[in-house]
A and B are shown apart, each in its own frame.
Chain A
Amino acid sequence: MRIFKFILTLGLTIAAIYGLNTKFGQFPPFGKLLDPYGGFWQNAESDFSAPETINLSGLTANVEVVYDSALIPHIYAENNADLYFAQGYVAASLRLWQLEFQTYAAAGRLTEIVGVGPNGVVLDLDRTARRQGLVFGAENSMKKMLENPLIKEMVEGYAAGVNAYIESLSYADFPLEYKILDYAPEEWTTLKTGLLLSYMSNTLNRSEKDLQNTNFLKLHGLEMLDLIYPDNESQEDAVVVEPGAWDFDPITIDSIPLALPDELITNDLVPSPDPNNGSNNWAVSGTKSESGYPILAGDPHLDLSLPSIWLTMQLNAPGINTMGAALLGTPGIIIGFNDSIAWTVTNAQRDLVDWYKIEFQDESRDRYLLDGIWVPTQKNIEEFKIKGAESYYDTIVYTHWGPVVYDKNFRPGSEKSSYAMRWTAHDESEELRAFYGLNTANNFDDYMAALNYFSAPGQNFAFASVGGDIAMRVQGKYPVRRMNEGRFLLDGSKSSNGWQAFIPNEHHAFTKNPARNYVSSANQHPVDSTYPYYVTASSYPNFRNRRINMVLDSLDQVTVQDMMDLQNDNYNLTAADVLPYLLDTLQSQDFNQEQLAIFNALRRWDYYNNPESEAASFFEEWWDTLYIMIWDEIRNSNRQGVRLQYPTDFSTIRLLKDSVALSFFDNKSTDRIENAIDIINMSFIEAVEDISEWKHKNGEKVRWADYNNTTIAHLSRSIPPFGRQVETGGNHGIVNATTRGNGPSWRMIVSLEKPKIRAWGVYPGGQSGNPGSPYYDNMVDMWANGQYLQLIFVNSPEQVVNPLLKQNLEPSN
């Protein structure tokens, strides 16, 4: 009897321990997580703390790491290998969870951490990543990069540094997310650096609308397609405007004209990257600045998340002294400056993805038709390990073109057709050589030489030097295209439909010290209409670029403060372009009091989307309502499974003004046939109703900051308390491109002065990736208020003023 009691109580105890030590579905392991000596409590910090001396095997000499008052690490090493080892170590110690998580996303391994997700969304995400060849591209790139001894030293050093940190951890030291999601960090590999680059290409260079265009072509014809989605939209304010100055012989491809497809594609297409991913950059020459030296400014726009995508750091070793924003997982600085030069990037979009329809010989998919012959495919069986369940297997078929993304097993259409993807990000590339070159560049020539190694994701590189040069170069791996090539689905049975050549580096658009004394880009069309290559893309925005140029044209004696003001500029050029026309079109005589109040507020508005502005909220609500009413045909078609692309705001405004009777202006939910005028009036009435409803829920004052409700979510998108709301103005199409969940992810300004460069930076986050640290989000309010941190850029560790911590990394024997 007593032994029975003993066994019962002991069993109960063990069961309780087991239960509290295990994750069940969404429930974390409560005992393990709540334990004050090992669980989440150990991640709570009141200040930054780390050991002052650390012995690390793998280092060849001492490395000094000084964390300044903003927790920005300044790393001083005696050679390159140690420098990148220390960068990896420091990056991991500040942001380990994010560092790993991003590569899990790129590698299609999220199911290992969180399972298949509700309705299998996580598994779908993972399958998408693998089918789109993110791992394939990472493998190809890393293979190429590791052939170069310098890059090999960087990547392997970085990996060793990350691993040295991981090996030093016990459970209590794990970043919080590992404890909540209940898994452990694994070994870092050089491939993961490649995966991070794939991840960035996927974010920035995967936009296309080939299949949507194919549908539109079938439904509405080429003429309508060219009217609504023109290739040459807004070339007047291109990145590089040098009409007639293209003095090279372009590569021409004289082959059979492309056959336009006649096909309706019903696949549930993988969503495109957020169209708000974009950026601004510019540089003004010394002639235009107050100091007489160039000033460079840049702000890349990405999904806002905590931890932030960027980590600010300084890297110093013999032959290198650079500072700026680094990505987690890649050695070196991505956007920054050194003693002599500064550079910053914006996304240089172009259509870099093509789709090929594949004809398989039979169900086995062992062979497919290419140039009249059945050639063999390569099949990869992909294993998806799933937390708490059996593995899932997916066979991915590779062809001459690349991986077959859509087929009978993945997002099939009604025809069960197979479509293979060709993407520049699948190819081998050497981006890290380009970044190393920029990090160590002394002048314009070094910058140009460094960029020759840069393939993907294609970027507009703004440049300025202490020597007084400014420049802008559009750089990436861009196929030479025939007219209309890449806009539609292609026939995968003819190899002549493939890319025949790539635009040579020396044919890329670039400009150095232009007469207007500044260079600028904001993701717009890269070139004027005289550029001899055919250029097409998913879409080119055309508001931020015009506003930036408008302001830069108007400025003289430019100061750093002017540049800060411009980065935070809330002027809504979309509204300035269209609102006067919309208001003139309204039949205001029958308005009720509420409609009249909003009408008058809009009439008086100065077009600034400032946080306090109510008119900004009214305009944005009205514009969104109008936009959806106009393109209801597109929405309906998407809902019915025939995917179409939404046109740009710029096109929409042009059509509203110039094509009043366009068939799309007819609202399908009414009996009569509307034109632009009708739909403008209808949408205003509806928008006013929506605003009333908002007021009813949220209060009388419709401040834009409240209406826009910008939220910086935790990177996992599933732990709301680790994100936060922020008070800010701006919107898409505005220089301060802060939307509800996307915006300037790093604002940097560099004044290239002698004797010493000065620089400022800020981002919506903090240097620590730990939600329990005061440095997790300490820069968010600064960022929202348009304030900056002056960056400490000094040549020796002793010169860092008010350091939080000085750390010695020492080689252990």
Chain B
Amino acid sequence: MKLIVKVILIALLAYILQMFLPWWAIAISSFVVNAIIHTKAGSSFLAGFLGVFVLWFIAAWRIDAKTDSLLTQKMAELFFVNEPLLLILITAFIGGLVGGLAGLAGSTLKGATSRRRKDRYYG
């Protein structure tokens, strides 16, 4: 349940941030959401990955459908995959990867900061 909520939040926040920021805003979104809603490392990565993957997949797929793959086909040939759907998947995967890594980083933030606080208490 937590995972689904996070996926939706990450996708939503990334969508909003991308209106103002370059593509790496997806990392910010995943980082922030995973820093606030804490889960285990694997789950955090997955949430980041899926959040951005879904967002980018839908965005790319919609453009591809609307333009009858005119450009997607050419770009797919340029990337030696020759298949528009494959290029959409690669796009989503690359975004997902960055989202996943940022999610992982976000999830370790809590531990890192709380540990520091602890150190100060007992140190």
Q: How far is the CA of A46 from the CA of B71 in the complex (A)?
A: 10
The answer on a CB contact under 8 Å between B24 and A31 is yes
The smallest C-beta distance from A128 to any residue of chain B, in angstroms, reads 29
**CB within 8 A of B64: which of A39, A44, A773?**
A44
A41 contacts the other chain (Cβ, under 8 Å)?
A: yes
Interface residues on A, range: 35 or more
Report B103-121 residues with CB < 8 Å from chain A CB.
Answer: 104-105, 108-109, 111-112, 115-116
Of the listed stretches A10-18, A141-149, A549-557, chain B binds A10-18
The answer on a CB contact under 8 Å between B18 and A37 is yes
**CB within 8 A of B67: which of A7, A34, A772?**
A772
Given A17-B24, A46-B66, decide whether A2 and B101 contact each other with a Cβ distance below 8 A.
no
The answer on a CB contact under 8 Å between A13 and B23 is no
The smallest C-beta distance from A86 to any residue of chain B, in angstroms, reads 28
A24 contacts the other chain (Cβ, under 8 Å)?
A: no
The answer on a CB contact under 8 Å between B22 and A44 is no
Interface residues on B, range: 35 or more
Chain A positions within 8 Å of B78 at CB level: 180, 719-721
Nearest neighbor of A42 in chain B, beta-carbon distance: B63
Q: How far is the CA of A304 from the CA of B23 in the complex (A)?
A: 36
Contact with A along B89-106 (1 / 0, CB 8 A): 011001101100110110
A40 contacts the other chain (Cβ, under 8 Å)?
A: yes
**CB within 8 A of A5: which of B18, B64, B98, B112?**
B112
Given A37-B59, A44-B70, A772-B67, decide whether A31 and B98 contact each other with a Cβ distance below 8 A.
yes
The answer on a CB contact under 8 Å between B109 and A6 is yes
**CB within 8 A of B105: which of A6, A32, A44, A720?**
A6
Report A1-52 residues with CB < 8 Å from chain B CB.
Answer: 2-3, 5-7, 9-10, 12-13, 16-17, 20-21, 30-32, 34-46
Give the dominant DSSP class at B's interface.
Answer: helix
Given A9-B108, A35-B23, decide whether A44 and B95 contact each other with a Cβ distance below 8 A.
no
The smallest C-beta distance from B89 to any residue of chain A, in angstroms, reads 11
Chain B positions within 8 Å of A9 at CB level: 101, 104-105, 108
Nearest neighbor of B93 in chain A, beta-carbon distance: A34
The answer on a CB contact under 8 Å between B101 and A12 is yes
Given A2-B111, A39-B23, decide whether A13 and B67 contact each other with a Cβ distance below 8 A.
no
The answer on a CB contact under 8 Å between B101 and A16 is yes
The smallest C-beta distance from A15 to any residue of chain B, in angstroms, reads 9
B56 contacts the other chain (Cβ, under 8 Å)?
A: yes
Q: How far is the CA of A325 from the CA of B19 in the complex (A)?
A: 39
The smallest C-beta distance from B29 to any residue of chain A, in angstroms, reads 12
B72 contacts the other chain (Cβ, under 8 Å)?
A: yes
The answer on a CB contact under 8 Å between A34 and B94 is yes
The answer on a CB contact under 8 Å between B70 and A38 is no
Give the dominant DSSP class at A's interface.
Answer: helix
The answer on a CB contact under 8 Å between B94 and A721 is no
The answer on a CB contact under 8 Å between B112 and A20 is no
A406 contacts the other chain (Cβ, under 8 Å)?
A: no
A774 contacts the other chain (Cβ, under 8 Å)?
A: yes
Nearest neighbor of A41 in chain B, beta-carbon distance: B63
The answer on a CB contact under 8 Å between B70 and A20 is no
B60 contacts the other chain (Cβ, under 8 Å)?
A: yes
Given A9-B105, A12-B105, A43-B71, decide whether A35 and B112 contact each other with a Cβ distance below 8 A.
no
The answer on a CB contact under 8 Å between B71 and A3 is no
The smallest C-beta distance from B30 to any residue of chain A, in angstroms, reads 9
The smallest C-beta distance from B71 to any residue of chain A, in angstroms, reads 3
B74 contacts the other chain (Cβ, under 8 Å)?
A: yes
A174 contacts the other chain (Cβ, under 8 Å)?
A: no
Chain B positions within 8 Å of A392 at CB level: none
Given A36-B91, A44-B71, decide whether A13 and B56 contact each other with a Cβ distance below 8 A.
no
Given A6-B112, A719-B78, decide whether A44 and B63 contact each other with a Cβ distance below 8 A.
yes
Q: How far is the CA of A32 from the CA of B18 in the complex (A)?
A: 12
**CB within 8 A of B22: which of A171, A180, A772?**
A171
The answer on a CB contact under 8 Å between B67 and A46 is yes
Q: How far is the CA of A603 from the CA of B67 in the complex (A)?
A: 50
**CB within 8 A of A774: which of B64, B70, B105, B108?**
B70
Given A36-B60, A38-B18, decide whether A6 and B71 contact each other with a Cβ distance below 8 A.
no
Chain B positions within 8 Å of A730 at CB level: none
The smallest C-beta distance from B36 to any residue of chain A, in angstroms, reads 15
The smallest C-beta distance from A327 to any residue of chain B, in angstroms, reads 26
Q: How far is the CA of A445 from the CA of B72 in the complex (A)?
A: 53
In the complex, how many residue pairs between chain A and chain B have their CB atoms under 8 Å apart? 118
The answer on a CB contact under 8 Å between A17 and B98 is yes
Q: How far is the CA of A40 from the CA of B76 in the complex (A)?
A: 11
Given A16-B98, A37-B18, A771-B71, decide whether A5 and B77 contact each other with a Cβ distance below 8 A.
no
Report B15-41 residues with CB < 8 Å from chain A CB.
Answer: 18-19, 22-24, 27, 31
**CB within 8 A of A37: which of B23, B104, B108, B115?**
B23
The answer on a CB contact under 8 Å between A3 and B23 is no
Chain A positions within 8 Å of B111 at CB level: 2, 5-6
The answer on a CB contact under 8 Å between A720 and B56 is no
Q: How far is the CA of A31 from the CA of B96 in the complex (A)?
A: 11
Q: How far is the CA of A394 from the CA of B87 in the complex (A)?
A: 43
Q: How far is the CA of A546 from the CA of B109 in the complex (A)?
A: 81
The answer on a CB contact under 8 Å between A721 and B74 is yes
Chain A positions within 8 Å of B23 at CB level: 21, 31-32, 35, 37-39
Chain B positions within 8 Å of A35 at CB level: 18, 22-23, 56, 91, 95
**CB within 8 A of A44: which of B72, B90, B115?**
B72
Report A324-369 residues with CB < 8 Å from chain B CB.
Answer: none
Chain A positions within 8 Å of B63 at CB level: 36, 41-42, 44
**CB within 8 A of A3: which of B59, B70, B116?**
B116
B75 contacts the other chain (Cβ, under 8 Å)?
A: yes
A410 contacts the other chain (Cβ, under 8 Å)?
A: no
Q: How far is the CA of A46 from the CA of B70 in the complex (A)?
A: 8
The smallest C-beta distance from B49 to any residue of chain A, in angstroms, reads 12
Q: How far is the CA of A278 from the CA of B9 in the complex (A)?
A: 62
Contact with B along A45-84 (1 / 0, CB 8 A): 1100000000000000000000000000000000000000
The answer on a CB contact under 8 Å between B67 and A45 is yes
Chain B positions within 8 Å of A229 at CB level: none
Q: How far is the CA of A30 from the CA of B56 in the complex (A)?
A: 14
A158 contacts the other chain (Cβ, under 8 Å)?
A: no
The answer on a CB contact under 8 Å between B22 and A41 is no
Given A3-B116, A32-B23, A38-B22, decide whether A13 and B102 contact each other with a Cβ distance below 8 A.
yes
The answer on a CB contact under 8 Å between B108 and A2 is yes
The smallest C-beta distance from A9 to any residue of chain B, in angstroms, reads 4
Q: How far is the CA of A30 from the CA of B81 in the complex (A)?
A: 14
A722 contacts the other chain (Cβ, under 8 Å)?
A: yes
Q: How far is the CA of A720 from the CA of B73 in the complex (A)?
A: 12
**CB within 8 A of A30: which of B67, B68, B70, B94?**
B94
Name 26 A/B residue pairs within 8 A (Cβ), A-sorted: A5-B108, A6-B105, A6-B108, A6-B111, A9-B108, A12-B105, A17-B24, A20-B98, A32-B23, A34-B91, A35-B18, A35-B22, A36-B56, A36-B63, A37-B19, A38-B23, A40-B75, A41-B64, A45-B71, A46-B68, A46-B70, A180-B78, A720-B77, A720-B78, A772-B70, A772-B74
A-to-B contact residues, CB < 8 Å: 2-3, 5-7, 9-10, 12-13, 16-17, 20-21, 30-32, 34-46, 171, 176, 180, 719-722, 771-774
List of 8 A-B pairs having minimum Cβ-Cβ separation, nearest first:
A772-B71, A35-B23, A36-B59, A2-B111, A6-B112, A721-B77, A9-B105, A44-B71
With A2-B112, A34-B94 already in contact, 4 other A-B pairs whose C-beta atoms are closer than 8 Å: A16-B97, A36-B63, A37-B59, A46-B68
